[in-house]
Amino acid sequence: MMKTIDNLAVADKRVLVRADLNVPLEGGRVTDDGRIQAALPTLNTLLDRGAEVIVCSHLGRPKGAPDPKYSLAPVAGRLGDMLGRRVRLAADTVGPSARAAVSELRPGGVVMLENLRFNAAETSKDDVQRGLFADQLAELADQYVSDGFGAVHRKHASVYDVALRLPHAAGYLVKAEVDALGRLTANIRRPYVVALGGAKVADKFDAFGSLITAADRILVGGAMAFPFLVARGDKVGTSLLEASQVAAAADLLERAAPGQIELPSDVVVAAEPGGSGTVVPANAIPSDQMALDIGPQTAMRFAAALFPAQTVFWNGPMGMFEREPYAGGTLAVAQALLDGEAFTVVGGGDTGAAIRALGFAEDAFGYVSTGGGASLEFIQGKTLPGLAALEE
């Protein structure tokens, strides 16, 4: 059984909250604050109940040492604006600055530790090294709250080991994620349609085999489609492609039921992303051009497949939605989900960012997950270390 913060007496207690504030930055500015927004219900509740809150998170992939490019300073500033109170950023994770900032905390106050991944032990495969870092984090607090769902599939010090050392509970975000994603693993309402896209292909290949056994139809767009197109004999020009994934795609096409996997029939191509794009058949991509979106014919076909669905899992945009000429496929999928009656889980940070960038309200969808890799592993039935550590 997993406790939530409603089961903790937090007044006058120092509460370490592991959030997932791994947000996109540009020029030292947060460009999409969806993950910060998702952390607010838990943080506001703890603060309103008189807790002394210590927020910790990772940002990007620094190489186990401080790197100004990955500082959480812009995130602390945006979080403070959204909370309506000062968020003091410590200059380190467990060093003198962190200890000093925590010692000065009072009920209703917030301190943010600097990027957890500035310490190599956070992500260490060595249990002892990771445990020593977890000991230092645990010394800062009286209680631990896990609210960074996007990281719960990682056996990291702040995600797994600290929970074993302190009285702990799930935050509202983790609880909501588990409840929503649970609807994709038991008593699924059918037809169940999965839409996969995006540029981060490797994690989705790991999940694809499980999805074949669960989903009625799988719609494949974005860079996810290119290994499948090559596997069936097509050329994809200069499109983003990991050649090592072609064999896996061929195996999945062979394992799937006839028509279960649907690939693009047309795509929008350009020599480089700055162009306006041209629609061509998916099996006729010019050798000097790259596919940057699914084409209008494919978008209509995918929308028609999504409209009658009763359950939908969507992970990954259909193209480079950040540029208007290549946003049409993602826009069509999002609109089809709104027009239909399916319970929809939108999974992954990029997909959530896409619907926000295209002007859709998050609450118009069944659930917008903050965790891409975590959500994929959850619906496969894998044990997620960060959740296992919370179980009583």
Name residue 219's amino acid.
L
- Residue of 148, 198, 221, 349 with catalytic role: 349
**Cβ(322)–Cβ(315) under 8 Å?**
no
- Residue of 3, 200, 323, 382 with catalytic role: 200
Task: Give the residue from 78, 79, 15 showing the smallest Cα distance to 46.
Answer: 15
* Helix 372-379 vs helix 202-214: crossing angle, to nearest 10: 30
Would you call 190 a catalytic residue per the annotation? Answer: no
For residue 392, the tally of other CB atoms under 10 A from its CB is 8
Would you call 349 a catalytic residue per the annotation? Answer: yes
Distance CA 289, CA 305 (A): 29
Q: How far is CA 108 from the centre of its chain?
A: 29
Phi, psi angle pair for 206, to nearest 5° = -60, -35
Phi, psi angle pair for 165, to nearest 5° = -110, -10
Phi, psi angle pair for 172, to nearest 5° = -65, -35
Distance CA 364, CA 62 (A): 35
For residue 279, the tally of other CB atoms under 10 A from its CB is 15
Distance CA 117, CA 184 (A): 32
**Cβ(319)–Cβ(334) under 8 Å?**
no
Using CB atoms within 10 Å of the CB of residue 91, give its burial: 0 to 12 exposed, 13 to 18 middle, 19+ buried: middle
- Residue of 14, 35, 204, 217 with catalytic role: 35
**Cβ(111)–Cβ(55) under 8 Å?**
yes
Active site residues: 35, 200, 349, 373
